[in-house]
Amino acid sequence: MITYGELFIGGTWTAPSSTELLDIRSPHDNSVIGRAAQALPADVDRAVAAARKAFDEGPWPHTSPAERIAVVRKLAALREKRADEIAALISAENGSALWFTKAGQPGLTRQVNAYLKAAEEFGWEETLEPSDPAAPFRSVVRREAIGVVAAIIPWNSPFSSASAKIIPALLAGNTVVLKVSPENTLSMNLLAELLAEAGLPEGVISVLPADRETSEHLVEHPDVDKIAFTGSTRAGRRIASLAGEQLKRVSLELGGKSAAIILPDADLGAAIQGLKFGALLNNGESCIAQTRILAPRSRYEEVVSGLKDLIESLGVGDPADDGTFIGPMVRRDQQERVLGYIRLGVEEGARLVTGGPEVPPGLEAGNYVTPTLFADVDTSMRIAQEEIFGPVLVVIAYDDEDDAVRIANDSEYGLSGGVWSADPAHALAVARRVRTGTVTINGAPIGFDGPFGGFKASGLGREYGAVGLGTYTEYQTITVPEAR
């Protein structure tokens, strides 16, 4: 059993304000796998005070981009050395299948490398000549750090979410308080160990596992300059409201109900195999999961049959087993939430093709859900509109291409999506019509150099690459007179 009795505040392991430790339970069988301290508002105050002092008085915001890049490179190298340990620990905490957490480790490297490349090429300071040749001045435009960043991340993919925020924040010279979910306390404390070893100055970063009440205290803290949040749209709306009262900078990566449009000429075998990962990655607990499958009426039953065979072939069980593709939901209440949506789908009149609200036999001790497929789904049904966050797919029929685009856009969300076609150029033309932040063609993976984020209720702002780095900076313009 792993035990963390202290909190990582300002780069130092420190006694928490409460000596009570939280039991960290395995989603597989609900056994206790660790115990750890949790932050309370008093601990948030200490972390923010350390970050404020480090930003206002410390060296970090005044270091050169090259110096900050060197620290982040060291952090990345330290993480890579412990990649297998990280993958196993996330699986144990989250219930994410080990294939997924292992596959995510190279992705973390690509994510950080994209930020490093952006930082090396970034226009930290540029001189602009006046558009009027007679103007007696020139403008020096600087990009400088915002200040104290509160980075708040969910439980479903903790290292990726943390890296998406703390890496650009640190590269820009900010100080950071990283608030993590209680479910991820063990893996995020491992991240804290890496941060301590990377050599950041005192006060620059804290890692605080905490509940929602403590998170709200962090959001409202007057010494926080920017909030970077990933989580539900409901929580994002609350954070945006609180941030607006103080005019804090805010970026929000929120929920999704992404559509995969299968065009009539698509290779169905390839599309269905691609949806194994695009729709059911991380047990379906993914904001970018393409859980609405849009199929042409001419091939509708082919798509339904192919997805049925796929879903019934997936191994469900202990996330540590090599044969497992779908593990348990992270918590018992999340399991109940997903099972409730499955029951709702039946009540709404959708055709239950495979799966259902029964827990897989022999796995009752854990938070398991049987992967489920619904057909004959109308876009007005709640299972077609609301984010379920579990291994539940719906297949919706469309009449023609315009109808497919209309259905894809008939959602309050706009985070991700996909198009499948034998003609990639045609697929690209369709993708341009879908109102969503990211669209993949024929299962191409999402890259880290381009911006990532959502339209509509899927959020505000963007992450990844140069655009993501820029969201952690403020513009300053200095007008310099020309000597005459």
pLDDT value at 293 more than 70:
yes
Q: Are residues 405 and 462 in the same domain?
A: no
Instruction: Let me know: does 319 contact 286? Beta carbons within 8 Å.
Output: no
Q: Are residues 127 and 140 in the same domain?
A: yes
The answer to whether 193 is a known catalytic residue is no
pLDDT, average across residues 251-262: 98
Give the per-residue pLDDT at 484. 53
Instruction: Let me know: does 144 contact 476? Beta carbons within 8 Å.
Output: yes
**Residue 483 covered by a domain:** no
Q: Are residues 122 and 205 in the same domain?
A: yes
d(CA 296, CA 347): 25
Cα within 13 Å of Cα(228), Cβ side: 32
- CATH number of the domain bearing residue 166: 3.40.605.10
The mean of the pLDDT values for the chain is 97
Give the per-residue pLDDT at 134. 81
Task: Write the pLDDT tens digit of every residue in 150-188.
Answer: 999 999 999 999 999 999 999 999 999 999 999 999 999
pLDDT value at 482 more than 90:
no
Q: Are residues 334 and 472 in the same domain?
A: no
Task: Write the pLDDT tens digit of every residue in 308-342.
Answer: 999 999 999 999 999 999 999 999 999 999 999 99
Q: Are residues 278 and 246 in the same domain?
A: no
Backbone CA torsion sign across 388, 394, 400, 403: negative
Give the per-residue pLDDT at 319. 98
Task: Write the pLDDT tens digit of every residue in 358-392.
Answer: 999 999 999 999 999 999 999 999 999 999 999 99
From the candidates 216, 220, 253, 285, which is the catalytic residue?
Answer: 253
Q: Are residues 426 and 409 in the same domain?
A: yes
> DSSP for 28-42?
TT--EEEEEE---HH
CB environment 330-368: b (16+ within 10 A), e (fewer): bbeebbeebbebbebbeebebeebbbbbebbeebeebbb
pLDDT value at 483 more than 80:
no
- 197-200-212-474 Cα dihedral, nearest 10 degrees: -150
Q: Are residues 134 and 213 in the same domain?
A: yes
**Residue 320 covered by a domain:** yes
3-class secondary structure, 75: helix
pLDDT value at 459 more than 80:
yes
- CATH number of the domain bearing residue 289: 3.40.309.10
The answer to whether 287 is a known catalytic residue is yes
What is the percent of the chain with per-residue pLDDT over 90, rounded to a whole number?
A: 97
Q: Position of tokens 């010494």?
A: 223
Q: Are residues 335 and 217 in the same domain?
A: no
Task: Write the pLDDT tens digit of every residue in 9-48.
Answer: 999 999 999 999 999 999 999 999 999 999 999 999 999 9
Query: What letter represents residue 372's amino acid?
Result: T
Instruction: Let me know: does 168 contact 462? Beta carbons within 8 Å.
Output: no
Q: Is 262 exposed, middle or buried (0-12, 13-18, 19+ CB in 10 A)?
A: buried
pLDDT-derived band at 136 (thresholds 50, 70, 90) equals confident
Q: Are residues 182 and 321 in the same domain?
A: no
Alpha helices for 294-400 (secondary structure H): 300-313, 332-347, 382-385
Task: Say how many domains are in the chain.
Answer: 2
Task: Write the pLDDT tens digit of every residue in 406-451.
Answer: 999 999 999 999 999 999 999 999 999 999 999 999 999 999 999 9
Task: Write the pLDDT tens digit of every residue in 232-248.
Answer: 999 999 999 999 999 99
**Residue 484 covered by a domain:** no
Task: Write the pLDDT tens digit of every residue in 57-84.
Answer: 989 999 999 999 999 999 999 999 999 9
Q: Which domain holds residue 443?
A: 259-451
From the candidates 93, 287, 387, 463, which is the catalytic residue?
Answer: 287
Give the per-residue pLDDT at 135. 83
Q: Are residues 18 and 49 in the same domain?
A: yes
